[in-house]
Amino acid sequence: MSFFDYIVVGAGINGTWAAAHLAKREHSVVLLEKFPLPHSRGSSHGASRIIRKVYPQPFFNDMMGPAYQQWHELEQECGEKFITSNGLLVFGTETGDTLKGMIGTFERSNNRDKCQVMGNDSLQRSYPMANFEPSAFGILDEEAGSIKADKSLKASIDHAKRHGVQVVDNYSVDGIISHSGLVRVQGGSMNNRKEFVGRGLVICPGPWAMDLLKILKFPLPLEAQRVPVYYFKYKDFLPCVFIYDSNGDYFYGIPENEYPGLLKLGSHEGIPTLADSRDQVDCSAIKKKVIEFIKRTFPGVDPKPAVEEVCMYTFPLPHSRGSSHGQSRIIRKAYRQPFFNEMMHSAYQQWHDLEEKVGMELMVPMGLLCFGDNSEYITSTIQTLKNAKRSSKVEFYDKLELEAAFPDINFLGDKRAAVQLGVTIKDSIEFTNLEWVGDNLVRIEGKGPGGISRFEAKGVVLCAGPWSMKVLEKIGMPVKMKAWKIPVTYFPCAQFMSKTFVYDNGVDHFYGVPDLEYPGLVKICRHIGDDTDPDERDHCDSTLTKAKVIDFVTRTFPTVDPRPVIEESCLYTMSPDDVPVLDRHPKFRNIVVGCGFSGTGFKLGPVTGEILALLVTDGNPIYDLRPFRYNRF
């Protein structure tokens, strides 16, 4: 049991700032978060939000002035810009209550010099790239724009920590007891229960509010909604953020600010859901409305969404489009390839060094069980471990020993550290061109929200993940690789093994992680995915792969509900032999490539990163790099 002056539940943007303000008043504060941070299950994730001062409700107008001031103070504290003030155009017809309310508020506000009401002629003249209805009018808020949501949330959490807030994530609250002027909060994860006691409790759980308020017998008429978010390719678009309000329809859009070459456009309408069942909700009707709105309003926008995401109303950096996102990965020394086994000893050491540097536990040692039937994969892994130069703590089981040890199974026959070291990170820039000038100079060109960016360096390391094939083709270095979309599925369970596992039978390959990321849910996935283009992953049908995972769960784990309640995805870049390329360009020594990690790259990252750094600086890696050569295919 731990005592604090105050307990805050929910590390979204509101709970985080509540905790920070309590700590600034010299109170001890603990901030409890249901999921591992960062995550994409609530209402505060994503790359951007609209920010503005003009609202239909005057009380929001009064609050937004101080809100802007505190955001600017946080920007100065972090040395990072979160707000882009490119203006907000709100347009529609007289049937739009929001639009009418904003104009009424604007006429009474102190910001009238920063806003202008626009009639239909003015709209058409100022924004010829849009088709406005004949009766349309609007209001332009010149100070408004967008705010980087993920980045500002992370900065807010760091801000709270600097003022003494203790953040505890992966903590699901299931009990709240108030007695004798104190509040006791109970919860945790399946294998790690904790209690916190405080003089007061602040509850900001987002779409889980209904669940927690039931515990307190304090019901409110709230409803969680799943709100789809879409990103579209475009040739011509408004230079500012917009809101459209007419006849009950409410759409919004943000110019290219997150994914290069894509604009964000969605509906304010959502589908009612339970917070833990959002992945089973069908939003196709809303998607159809958004597409129809684009077709009739913005002729310069491709109406087929290139990226589809989700937010909850009541998963820039970080993002969830490549191969390094998500809440967890398996980490191990048990590999069938001896070179991976040897590299992982060094990788573990560097991961531990990083944990000490950032003061955070990144690895959870719970053991890994590899099992299967007539599997060459497991046989060769055992042989590698027995012949390894450096020993690992390993146990080997025959069939009877396995069944006795694990009765729950039916056996069948950081970026932060990089920045601290002086690395400059430029996100939202899409690689477009590379020019080799000489042994000491390479020019890179990329496109981002601010236009074309150009960089010069002594050398370049290319680690483009599933985009490697497209990037390397541009520099005359084609690779025989393909991108796989891997469904990542989470299942409810009453009881489960305490170890991660890998299953292989020579035909299929599955892996799983116990209750670690989402409380009460186990992660079970297939290591084989579906061919896709990384820019079209949201249109890839993974129904058959998902069915195979469910079939495996059904026949193997009787205590696991085979209906997944959370579905995410990851991208693998597969090489023909499942081994990555770590090599120099065949012509240019100062251009180095790391790609094709085949679902193995994350845990090896510290060592493969070191290898790439040595290659680009003409160093001498201690590892035999013949298995990783580009010309082996």
Residue range 571-600: mean pLDDT, rounded: 88
Decide: 528 and 484 in contact? Cβ < 8 Å: yes
- How many angstroms separate the CA atoms of 130 and 94, rounded? 19
In angstroms, the CA 349 to CA 489 distance is 30
Which of 44-48, 124-128, 140-144, 248-252 is the least confident region?
Answer: 44-48
Segment 457-463 shows an average pLDDT of 92
CATH number of the CATH domain containing 120: 3.30.9.10
Q: What's the whole-number average pLDDT of the chain? A: 82
CATH number assigned to the domain comprising residue 624? 3.50.50.60
Decide which of 313, 330, 349 is a domain's last residue.
313
Domain boundary pick from 257, 278, 313:
313
- With 80 as the cut, is the pLDDT of residue 292 above it? yes
CA–CA dist 314, 365 (Å, integer): 36
Given this model, what pLDDT does residue 209 score?
A: 76
Contact 532, 485 (CB under 8 A): yes
> CA–CA separation, 220 vs 360, rounded Å?
37
Q: Say yes or no: 237 and 142 in one domain.
A: yes
Q: How confident is the model at residue 282, as a pLDDT?
A: 82
Helix (H, G, I), strand (E, B) or coil at 632: helix
pLDDT value at position 440? 83
| Long-range contacts of the stretch 448-452 (C-beta < 8 A, 24+) | 448/260, 449/255, 449/256, 449/257, 449/258, 449/260
Q: Which tens digit of pLDDT belongs to each residue from 173-225?
A: 888 888 888 989 988 876 678 899 999 898 888 777 778 878 887 777 777 77
Residues 615, 630 contacting (CB under 8 angstroms): no
Query: For the purposes of burial, counting CB atoms within 10 Å of the CB of 89, is it exposed (0-12), middle (13-18) or buried (19 or more)?
Result: buried
Q: pLDDT band at 20, cuts 50/70/90? A: very high
Do β-strands 88-92 and 137-141 pair in parallel, antiparallel, or remain unpaired?
antiparallel
Q: Is the pLDDT reported for residue 604 higher than 70?
A: yes
For residue 206, being part of any structural domain is answered with: no
Q: What is the CA radius of gyration of the chain?
A: 26
Residues 239 and 378 in one domain: no
Residues 6+ apart with CB under 8 A from 537: 321, 483, 485, 569, 571
- Per-residue pLDDT band at 165 (split at 50, 70, 90): very high
Does 349 lie in the same domain as 258?
no
User: Do 492 and 463 belong together in one domain?
Assistant: no
- Identify the pLDDT of residue 566: 84
* pTM greater than 0.85 (yes/no): no
The identity of residue 243, as a single letter, is I
- Whether residues 492 and 547 fall in one domain: yes
pLDDT of residue 76 exceeding 90, the answer is yes
pLDDT, tens digit (0-9, with 9 covering 90-100), for 520-551: 888 888 988 899 988 888 888 889 999 999 99
Amino acid at 9: V
Do residues 492 and 628 share a domain? Answer: no
Whether 291 maps to a domain, the answer reads yes
Interacting residues of 41 by C-beta distance below 8 A, sequence separation 6+ = 34, 35, 275, 278, 312, 315, 518, 566
Is 169 inside any structural domain? Answer: no
- On whether residue 162 sits in a domain, the answer given is no
Q: Which of 60-64, 123-127, 170-174, 402-406 has the lowest mean pLDDT?
A: 402-406
Q: What is the pLDDT of residue 315?
A: 30
Rounded-to-integer distance, Cα 475 and Cα 458, Å: 17
Q: Would you state the pLDDT for residue 317?
A: 40
Q: Give yes or no for a contact between 365 and 499, defined as CB atoms under 8 angstroms apart.
A: no
DSSP 165: P
> Do residue 265 and residue 403 come from a single domain?
no
pLDDT category, 28, cuts 50, 70, 90? very high
Residues 551 and 582 in one domain: no
Place of tokens 């120099």: 584
Task: Kindly state whether residue 177 falls inside one of the protein's structural domains.
Answer: no
Position 421 pLDDT exceeds 60: yes
How many residues are recorded in the chain?
633
Examine residue 110 and state whether it is found in any structural domain, yes or no: yes
Residue 377: closest CA among 528, 507, 529:
507
Is residue 325 included in any domain, yes or no? no
**Beta 500-504 vs 115-118: how paired, if at all?**
unpaired
Say which residue, 220 or 456, is predicted with more confidence.
456
Domain that holds residue 85: 49-147+224-313
- Residues 497, 410 within the same domain: yes
Same domain assignment for residues 141 and 242:
yes
pLDDT one-digit tens code per residue, 305-358: 988 876 665 434 454 545 455 556 668 787 778 888 788 888 888 888 888 887
What pLDDT shows up at residue 539? 84
Lookup: tokens for 254: 């943000």
Q: Is 628 helix (H, G, I), strand (E, B) or coil?
A: helix
Domain co-membership, 251 together with 307:
yes
Q: Are 235 and 278 in the same domain?
A: yes
Residue for token pair 């006691």: 197
Q: Specify the number of domains making up the chain.
A: 3
Query: In the prediction, which pLDDT does 148 show?
Result: 84
Task: Give the confidence band of 158 by pLDDT, cuts at 50, 70, 90.
Answer: very high
Nearest residue to 483 via CA among 534, 412, 524, 525: 534
Is the pLDDT score of 451 beyond 90? no
- Maximal C-alpha separation, the chain: 81
pLDDT digits (tens, 9 = 90+) for 422-442: 888 888 888 889 988 877 889
Q: Which residue has the higher pLDDT, 317 or 573?
A: 573
Provide mean pLDDT across the span 262-272: 83
Portion of the chain with pLDDT greater than 70, in percent: 89
pLDDT of residue 77: 93
319 lies in some domain = no
Specify the pLDDT at position 190. Answer: 66
Name the most confidently modeled range: 347-351, 384-388, 407-411.
347-351
* Structure-block tokens of residue 58: 């005057």
pLDDT of residue 316: 40
End position of a domain, from candidates 250, 279, 313: 313
Virtual CA dihedral for 115, 117, 120, 121, nearest 10 degrees?
-70
Which helix or strand (DSSP H or E) is residue 609 part of?
helix 601-616
> From the centroid of its chain, how far is CA 115?
35
Cβ 84 vs Cβ 72: under 8 Å: no
